[in-house]
Chain A
Amino acid sequence: MKIAVAMSGGVDSSVVAGLMARAGHEVIGITLQLYDSSPTTARKGACCAGQDIYDAKRVADRLGIAHYVVDAEARFRGSVISAFADAYAAGETPVPCIACNQHLKFGDLLDMARDFGAEAMATGHYVQRLEGPGGAELHQAVDANRDQSWFLFATTQAQLEFCRFPLGAYASKTEVRAVAAEMGLAVAEKSDSQDICFVPSGSYAGIVANFRPDAMAPGDVVAEDGRILGQHQGIARYTIGQAKRLPDAAAHMVVKKIEPGTRRIVVGPRGTQSREIRLRDVNWLVEPGELRAAAKLRARDSLHPARIMPDGTGAILTLDEPALAAPGQAAVFYSGTRILGGGFII
């Protein structure tokens, strides 16, 4: 069949393109150009810089498949980078990779693939799409260390039906690299992409300051009773539960609340955590309804048994044991390896 492959120029998506071509499909490789890649902004460990586009093209040449570069700069700037800065300015801790998957990869790119006549779209994500009695199901990757299911919770059922994730079945990245080497792909030894692709050297303060200077303006660090304990240099530098960058008077305390209106960071003792968590923009991969599941509240988090109640377009999550929940992060519902849905923490 005609299958579009989202190619970043990295080893994972290159192998996916190779696997699809090897299986006899007509493969159409697409690379989204997410930002201008002049030599000064290119950096190691980031996806879709100029070198990555070149690498993707060379992989496509090697595999003998079509390849196109699609301009997604304006969309990426609006739906991902500027939304990222806005979320920090609103006192949240955003996950830009989820926004990118939701709006660009499984949004615009998937729509485009349908429009030009592809019958499916494959990506290099480490998740599994398994056929169930009610249609396609989203499951964790076999390699738990690589699993990216938390980042893909917002994929809708219709999108999931159209998608393929061949790497979810691989036991380790080593195996994937071996396949790349066997296919003769020059990217077999390329280093993994890290962190947030558009944030150079892991410091997002500059990006936020650029889009939302208000989020980097100084303000008070206060105790829960309102006493001023010191100053901070911008609410965007804080996330719920954080103990770093607090004034000496707040030693041994953690951030409890971020108030964008007053630019106050409220701190308190560790330990007091919430049981009831409200979620917005919930995506259901099962029939919406009350259910028991295990919730994951951060990318690298253990599973928290919980009861989930739909609430309009959102949901209310009641944890069996209290846990730390940061607004802007995702709460994803698991039953075994299967993802049942998820939403953004308010």
Chain B
Amino acid sequence: MTLYLDANATEPLRPAARAAMLAAMDTLGNPSSIHASGRAARKLLEAARETVAAHCHARPADIIFCAGATEANALAIHALGRDRPILIGATEHESIRPTGAEILPVRPDGTLAAATLDAALARYPGALVCLMAANNETGVLHDIETAAKSCAIHGALLHVDAVQAVGRCPRDWLAMGAASFSLSGHKFGGPMGAGALVVSQGIEIEALVKGGGQEQGRRGGTPPLPAIAGLAAALGEPYESDKILSCRDDIEAFCIGLGAVIPGAGAARLPNTVCLILPGIRAETQLIALDMAGIAVSAGSACSSGKLAASPVLAAMGFGTLSGQAIRVSLPWNVSRGAVEQFTMAYAAMVKRALRSPAHSA
């Protein structure tokens, strides 16, 4: 049995999402069609939109469904970044790295200093600032409220990549002043293939893909109804934050005892995520050893070939060569206490073997 601790890659499907998808799959019709079947499909789509809007503190009209967060981020940059300089945090995801963007350096704990943003905004007033609510590798949270205030002062727009935060530590980012934020269904127990860009009232979005004018002309293409129904159902599910946090804290304490270093340890973080640097042991070696022990974790950013590269997030935090010696443990919504014991035993065995290997005796 695999112990799955890679929730930030994708969360296990919520049973409620599965049920909603099965029902949607049996709903015949295209939401754009005029006839009764079309109306039934449309009703399902709009019900999902209302559910998502309620959870996101937005109006239904401000939810733009799309394929996922990569598309939602691209749409935000396309629509909001036009004619504006773009400022992005140094630890942002690859889907928020437009060419020519100004990179905002982060502090060693992964957070963005208010002064750094203010100085950049003084140079680039009226910019589009892109910041993630929670980092995918370290779980470190950005102070979106403070950033939004700075943006407002300088006439800048703020887009929040909220992919890892929605469902785990949701905030009312629009009320804080964000112009938009992105979410992806499969990061909170929905299916892959559906996400959304949520925009603040009055924010105009010009489509990347015009197609047949769906989503009020902001995203063409027939919406994937089963995936959207699953996304909406997953969003309403409870998240046992305290239980997950206590599992993570126990894992952290154990691994620190074996020599692990935790980037961003002092910053506010997601309850389910911990990045563990094991100095001297390559990330690949750790990942393979744990995989052989039946434990799924991740490291760095895996490209499509599956090759692991050193983590650009940790590099941006100043970890140097240690950036290639870290794994990420991200606990799923349904983690059990038993996972802590299983993981820590495998981690201890891995550390013991790696340290007695001749390659490390020198």
Bin chain B's interface residue count: 20 to 34
Give A112 to B283 CA distance when docked, in angstroms.
10
Contact (Cβ within 8 A) A116 B306: no
Among residues of B, the one whose C-beta sits closest to the C-beta of A57 is: B306
Consensus secondary structure, chain B interface: helix
Give A28 to B293 CA distance when docked, in angstroms.
12
The yes or no answer to A33 lying at the interface (CB within 8 A) is: yes
Identify which of B307, B308, B354 contacts A115 (C-beta below 8 A). Answer: B354
Query: Which segment of B115-123, B258-266, B284-292 sits at the interface?
Result: B284-292
Min CB–CB distance B41 → chain A (angstroms): 37
A28-B288, A112-B282 are contacts. A71–B308 as well, Cβ < 8 Å? Answer: yes
Contact (Cβ within 8 A) A53 B305: yes
Give the residues in chain A near B308, CB-CB below 8 Å.
69-71
Min CB–CB distance A28 → chain B (angstroms): 7
Among residues of A, the one whose C-beta sits closest to the C-beta of B306 is: A69
Give A236 to B309 CA distance when docked, in angstroms.
33
Min CB–CB distance A121 → chain B (angstroms): 13
The yes or no answer to A37 lying at the interface (CB within 8 A) is: yes
Give the residues in chain A near B306, CB-CB below 8 Å.
53, 57, 67-69
A28-B292, A117-B292 are contacts. A112–B305 as well, Cβ < 8 Å? Answer: no
Give A115 to B284 CA distance when docked, in angstroms.
10
Contact (Cβ within 8 A) A114 B357: yes
Contact (Cβ within 8 A) A117 B291: no
Contact (Cβ within 8 A) B307 A33: yes
The yes or no answer to A199 lying at the interface (CB within 8 A) is: no
Within 8 A of A (CB), among B264-283: 281-282
The yes or no answer to B35 lying at the interface (CB within 8 A) is: no
Contact with A along B345-361 (1 / 0, CB 8 A): 00000100110011110
Give A194 to B246 CA distance when docked, in angstroms.
56
The yes or no answer to A2 lying at the interface (CB within 8 A) is: yes
Identify which of A2, A57, A115 contacts B281 (C-beta below 8 A). Answer: A115
Give A265 to B24 CA distance when docked, in angstroms.
78
Give the residues in chain A near B282, CB-CB below 8 Å.
112, 115
Give the residues in chain A near B358, CB-CB below 8 Å.
111, 114, 158
Contact with B along A94-121 (1 / 0, CB 8 A): 0000000000000000011011110000
Contact with A along B234-259 (1 / 0, CB 8 A): 00000000000000000000000000
Give the residues in chain B near A26, CB-CB below 8 Å.
292
Contact with B along A280-293 (1 / 0, CB 8 A): 00000000000000
Contact (Cβ within 8 A) B292 A71: no
Min CB–CB distance A150 → chain B (angstroms): 26
A53-B305, A53-B306 are contacts. A70–B359 as well, Cβ < 8 Å? Answer: no
Among residues of A, the one whose C-beta sits closest to the C-beta of B353 is: A117
A116-B289, A117-B289, A117-B353 are contacts. A68–B359 as well, Cβ < 8 Å? Answer: no
Contact (Cβ within 8 A) B289 A66: no
Among residues of B, the one whose C-beta sits closest to the C-beta of A114 is: B357
Give the residues in chain A near B305, CB-CB below 8 Å.
33, 37, 50, 53-54, 69
Give A67 to B287 CA distance when docked, in angstroms.
12
Min CB–CB distance A341 → chain B (angstroms): 21
Contact (Cβ within 8 A) B291 A70: no
Contact surface of A with B, Cβ cutoff 8 Å: 2, 26, 28, 33, 37, 50, 53-54, 57, 66-71, 111-112, 114-117, 158
Please name 11 pairs of A and B residues whose Cβ atoms are closer than 8 Å in the assembled complex, sorted by A: A53-B306, A67-B306, A68-B288, A68-B306, A69-B306, A69-B307, A71-B307, A71-B309, A111-B357, A112-B284, A114-B357
User: Given A115-B289, A116-B292, 6 more contacts at CB 8 Å?
Assistant: A68-B284, A70-B307, A112-B282, A112-B285, A116-B350, A117-B353
